[in-house]
Structure 1
Amino acid sequence: MTGTPEPILPLSLLASNREQFNAVFYEPVSVALQTKTNLHLHVLRVQNGDFDLPALYRVLKNNSVAYVLSRLNYQKALEDPGRMMEVATKVQSQFRMPDDKAGEGGEVILYSLLEGHLGAPKILSKMEIKTSSEHYVHGSDGVHLLRTGDNSYQLIFGESKMYGDAGTVGSSAKRGIKAAFTSVGKVHEDGFDFDTWLVQSELLKEKLDAEKLALLSAILLPSSGGGDDEIKKHNAFGIFVGYEVDVSDLKVEDMELDAIEDELRKRATDAIVAQHDLIKQEITDRGLGVYPIHMYAVPFAKRGEGDKMHGIERIRFDLAAQLGNHEAKK
């Protein structure tokens, strides 16, 4: 967690949900790649020789309630536990049927990281403005607000990508990074207008008193006023990249459990460290060096061959199935 000042908006995730989410990972490894770019590697804990996916699915399903609902509606649900199943069904219905392009699981991971690790409360998620569970909402994968000083704020536009290897073993992280920066670059080129309009349209859905709502409006919808106490708001990006670590060559039957764990963590770290220069180059090439960038990386294991391959594409599908209470792939 950061040592930033108290936010105007409360975090939408309950403290217990944030603690449970953070607990499924080892202590994150953070690297300052540039003055305003920080990369945080979050490696899932290893259980019996594999990253603990069941634990991740469980906490993300719990977090999905606060992700889907506005704070006002979430508070109403918490105050009326007799509607628990009704609320759960409503939340699940907002997630699309799993398909090969399912990306909503990555969006929930990014949301959980920005709230649970960075301490940046959400302003809105895609789910709050969807008219249909089968409708893709264009723009960023959510918007968060980080208070960095007494009168200084970052409006963080989220982007999540989960890519597997394509043709070459170890290409997963590179593919995800390049795809993420392609999307982020487009938001930069479009001038943030679409997402800012969404933020404006959702302001009144927040459970805030008049004073805090006025301050939030002043941050997001600045007037032409000046002065020494002028609020400073900068646009920023929150990026999540889920990548694949090929461990199909490991002879796990001949390895101790601790040795498997060590090897998984080493390969996960090496794969993202190898992309540090690419990240910096993407930022330079796309003219993104003026923005604070909070980047998160989470590795997933790939095992097997052919029809028995289990990697990030399968995990992405299974995660979407879990969130929407749909049937997973056999």
Structure 2
Amino acid sequence: MTAAEEEFDLKTAFAELVQGDWSRFDHLLHEPVEPQVIADTKATIRCHYLASDPSGNPRVKPLARQLSKQILRFCTPRSRLNSIKSIDDELERDEAMTEAVLNARRLFTTKQENTGEGGELLLYILLERHLQVPQILSKLSLKTNTQVQVHGSDGIHAKLEEDHTLGLYWGESKIYKNYTSAFADCFNSSAPFLIGSADTQDLFLIKEYADLGDLNLRHAILDYFDEAHPKSQKLDVRAACLIGFSVDEYPVLPADIEAARIAIQNDLTKWSANILGHIQKHGISNYQVEVFLIPLPNEIEFRDSIRSALSES
């Protein structure tokens, strides 16, 4: 096999890591304005609003229920899923899949009112399904105490570019009542991962536990994390931030999308200026950052709906 064929196989195998598409969510989350790059940075802002029902009520609970249906792939290592799928006996296979779902549910925190795991789940969906950037390590699967949230980054995803650069995305999710606190806390948490002052433990977890469902693919990707290997020069550290916050007046979408666009664009201009300040403060203008803004009718309702949906799923 030639080197070119090896690279083609690597890219194909990596692309196949993406589990699903955006079709199950595009009717629940709307993006009223185009993604925007903040001037003099490499940060892209995407703004998603909840769709409304015919009575004009934002569809918080339907979104929560749909998110809860994604926990198996979010929480379960690929090798375990592949092992279950390979079971010949149908009854045994069904039992193993049911057990995996129950185990995934138990990994979520149920007693902490301010848990951000619903935001982490939504960030996973936005990266994997919307941007086609797959998760390479399920941190929830490493939990030893189900009532304690994971430490370090909130998600670890990666993208193999055409020039063979591996973009490593440190995920951070914040769900707050107001956007100023959410923005500040999010960049206070994510910036240290970009500049390399807080990534030691998570890099160790990648090297020890990254599960890509295929040993050859795992070895090829881990070369990027070996400083003695030439591929380490092609590791590009990035950030993916999901920031949810309550807003007073919620648009009725998609019914009033045309009328709402001007107001939303005005808000986005204000939010972008605030985010630019945090990027400049932390000196991360040269790092690629995907910022997902999720205005909510009520952040407490979102948290409660996620917990309720997980208990019912």
- For the aligned pair, the TM-score class normalised by the smaller chain equals 0.7 to 0.9
Q: Is the 8 A contact 1:245 1:267 kept in 2?
A: no
Match of 1:36 in 2: 42
2:28–2:50 contact (8 Å) kept in structure 1: yes
Tell me which amino acid in the other structure corresponds to 2:279: I
CA distance in structure 2 between the aligned counterparts of 1:26 and 1:68, rounded to whole angstroms: 26
- Partner Cα separation in structure 2 for residue 7 and residue 267 of structure 1: 43
User: Pick from 12, 24, 34: which aligns with 1:20?
Assistant: 24
Instruction: Say if 2:310 is the partner of 1:323.
Output: yes
Q: What is the distance in 2 between the residues matched to 1:148 and 1:219? A: 13
2:64 pairs with one of 57, 81, 89: 57
Q: How does 1:106-185 map to 2 (within 5 A)?
A: 106-164=119-177, 172-185=178-191
Shift of the 145–189 alpha-carbon distance from structure 1 to 2, 3 Å rule, reads: closer
Match among 108, 117, 121 for residue 95 of structure 1: 108
Aligned-pair CA distance for 1:317? 2.7
What is the match of residue 278 of structure 2?
A: 282
1:83, distance to aligned residue in structure 2 (A): 3.6
Other structure's SS at 2:26 match: helix
Residues 1:189 and 1:220: Cα distance change in structure 2 (over 3 Å)? closer
Paired amino acid for 1:239:
C
CA distance in 1, matches of 2:190, 2:228: 26
Pairwise CA RMSD of aligned residues? 2.7
| Residues 241, 6 of structure 1: alpha-carbon distance in 2 compared, 3 angstrom cutoff | farther
1:72 aligns with 79
Provide the identity percentage: 23
Structure-2 residue corresponding to 1:167:
none
| Structure 1: tracts of 5 or more residues without a match | 165-171, 302-310
Deviation at 1:123, TM superposition (A): 1.0
Contact 1:105 1:323 in 2 (8 A): no
- 119 and 145 in structure 1: CA distance in 2 versus 1, 3 angstrom threshold: same
Query: How far, CA to CA, are the matches of 2:36 and 2:13 in structure 1?
Result: 24
Partner of 2:133, secondary structure, is coil
How far does residue 220 in structure 1 lie from its aligned partner after superposition?
A: 2.6
Look up the equivalent residue of 1:149 and give its one-letter code.
Answer: E
Q: Do the aligned partners of 1:102 and 1:316 also contact (CA within 8 Å) in 2?
A: yes
| Match in the other structure for 2:212 | 206
Map of 1:169 onto structure 2: none
Q: Is the 8 A contact 1:37 1:293 kept in 2?
A: yes
1:43-99 CA-to-partner distances (Å, cap 9, x unmatched) read 222212122123211221111111110111223344523444322221111111143
Gaps of 5+ in 2: 1-10, 87-92
Residue 114 of structure 2 aligns to a residue whose secondary structure is coil
CA contact (8 A) 1:151 1:231 kept: no
Give the aligned partner of residue 201 of structure 2. 194
Alignment of structure 1 residues 1-20 onto 2, 5 Å? 6=12, 8=14, 10-15=16-21, 18-20=22-24
- Aligned partners of 1:7 and 1:147 also within 8 Å: no
> Aligned pairs, how many?
292
